[in-house]
Amino acid sequence: MGGAADSLDHRFRSLAMSIRHQRNEKRWRPCVRSGLLGIGAVHLQSAVTGVFVVPLTAEVSNVTSGFPHHKHRRLKMDEAFLTVKNELDTEVVVSWVSEHCYQCLYQQLGVAPAAPSLGQPSSVDFIVSTQHEITLQLNRTPATQELCTLPFHFGEHGNYSLWVKNLNDRSLVNCTLVTDADPANSYIPILVAFLIFAGLALVSAIGRIILGLSVVRGILFRISGSMETERLINSELGSPGRTVAPITDNILPPPNNPSKRLRSLDTFRGISLVIMVFVNYGAGRYWFFKHESWNGLTVADLVFPWFVFIMGTSTALSINASLRAGSTRSSLLRKVVWRSLQLFIIGVFIINPNYCQGPLSWANLRIPGVLQRLAWSYLVVACLDLLVARSHLDILTRDAWWSPGLDILLYWPAWLCVLLLEIIWLCLTFLLPVPNCPTGYLGPGGIGDMGLYANCTGGAAGFIDRWLLGENHIYQTPSSRVIYATDMPYDPEGVLGSISSVLMAYLGLQAGKIILHYRDVHTSIISRFLIWGLILGVLSAVLTKCSRDQGFIPVNKNLWSLSYVTTLACFAFVLLVLVYYTVDVRKWWSGAPFYYPGMNSILVYVGHEVFEEYFPFRWRMANNQSHAEHLTQNLVATSCWVFISYVLYRKKIFWKI
């Protein structure tokens, strides 16, 4: 009895120590959220220290035994069951690495015990991620001999078995992965949502066609006329001070010189904004709607640069209109500085939500952000344009041999400044010495690059932010933590990347100059846009070598790398051509519903950030691990903001800074 009591006491002590260990690790557990093989994995091993992290689970079990009762635990999104059955007479270490993790160390998933007897395999269960393809590696212990490697893309909520057995020759080992239960199709909610919105768009288009028929318009006119007559009869006709506006006012022609506004620009801005709001709300919790962990692009990585691009385009048109109206450059400069300051202050408030509970604390105030990046880009680009912009463009000749480059040559001082800024970015990125890191490092650190540079996240960009702003004043949970298990703060809207955002905004301003110089000549505008798109696309192909990780400068949203700017600017020019042609040239599309949020972009962006957690934008879900429920909630929330912007448009309410 004494031995049994001692054993039981030892087990309870181990349990208490394990719980205390989980509490101690609670501070940095969000760094290893499910996105690897995290929440259900037995361990996540640090590439540098070798420390094991207790997984987030209600079960406390032996660290090498897996989860023997996993079938009683409900799978979460992007997870699948994996059962490893080991028929060998030695333990097998199961490790893994994500296909999206470039030059990463294998991380230990767990240990499959030796088979208890011949023909009776041991069994250990794990929960694995289904976001990306992973490679499983099995090693024999204690000799750490590699037995096999298996690349495989697990399906969400699938059930899989990995059999490890000897062949006839005892020196050879066979590893076979079997699907025990087919995965669920998690993309059906996206298909259903697409069909619903496509159906609404089709019904709306058919309705506009029907309402445009002369017969229908005549019927509606007679109905509206009879209603107006009845209203006049029932009213107090002839009472003093009362005048009735003639009905013909509704059909008078517009003024001779109406202000001409390109709907395509507001539509383009609205497209970027609506996708941005949808992504910020969660986008159904699908991985491809989240920001890429490091190199590469997802849908979420497209919209912010497009917003910067179209801001530059609008800046060119706005400054030109103000100068033509007689405004002085000094007055416009004051407005630019004041708008930039307002954007920056609003940005600081909305990304530091603790202001709802009291004054902002400087100790952990995040300084960079989306609106702050917009404020900086707008300030620089608008100031450059004020230096070189011309108030009268009609007097410029188009007959000279250099006229095809007119929209560039006239503003060469501004272009020179932008190119000098980009040279500064290149020099700082590739030549600035960073302590304990290789010069010119562009990697994520963590377990990437075989764990050699774990604390070098972002290279010079991360170093400059930590040096200028301090670790407590930048983003604490960057996307690189998801796959690369980094633990260094890093801000994707940091100081060094702001230089590249100026280039993006100025390319947008260049699009505005094209519109100004070739206005009403649609073929010239479209051809210029396509030429710019081609040039930027070729430059991107050279910089990236048409690969995700192997190029000279990979496409990277976290760094706002040069290739990221050229690639997204290429996409922006092409998309702007499509929107401009369909909305302003052919008038096949009115730009709705994106046109309305595009007219009230600041209000929609700030509003969705401030009221994100409030009904009707968010509510308690019956199953918070359902893509369908998350997608429904996020689409409803985004649609609410589109509807709000439509109502404000009808009321002629616009919030401008």
Active site residues: 291
Structure tokens at 619: 């509510």
Peptide linkage before 593 cis (omega within 30 of 0): yes
Residue 442 vs residues 370, 429, 551, 560: alpha-carbon distances, Å: 22, 8, 11, 11
CA distance 414 to 420: 10
Beta partners for 150? 136
Strand partners, 111: 93
Exposed e or buried b per residue across 406-443, where buried means at least 16 C-beta atoms within 10 angstroms of its C-beta: bbeebbeebbebbeebbeebeebbeeeebeebeeebbb
CA atoms of 445 and 452, how far apart (whole Å): 8
Distance CA 95, CA 31 (A): 20
> Are 95 and 109 a contacting pair, CB within 8 Å?
yes
Q: Which residue type does 313 have?
A: T
Q: How far apart are CA 39 and CA 23, in angstroms?
A: 16
Report d(CA 63, CA 55) in Å as an integer: 10
Let me know: does 561 contact 544? Beta carbons within 8 Å. no
The SS3 assignment for 309 reads helix
Q: Please, what sign has the CA dihedral across residues 624, 627, 633, 637?
A: positive
Burial class (CB in 10 A: 0-12, 13-18, 19+), 267: buried
Give the burial class of 196: count Cβ atoms within 10 A of its Cβ; 0-12 exposed, 13-18 middle, 19 or more buried: exposed
Cα Rg of the chain (Å, integer):
30
C-alpha span between 254 and 187 (Å, rounded)? 48
Q: Spell out the SS3 assignment of 403-437.
A: HHHHHHHCCHHHHHHHHHHHHHHHHHHHHCCCCCC
Distance CA 282, CA 315 (A): 31
Count Cβ atoms within 10 A of the Cβ of residue 342 and give its class: 0-12 exposed, 13-18 middle, 19 or more buried: middle
* CA trace torsion 375, 379, 381, 386 (10° rounding): 150
| Short-list 80, 153, 152, 94, CA closest to 123 | 94
Read off the tokens for 233: 């009869």
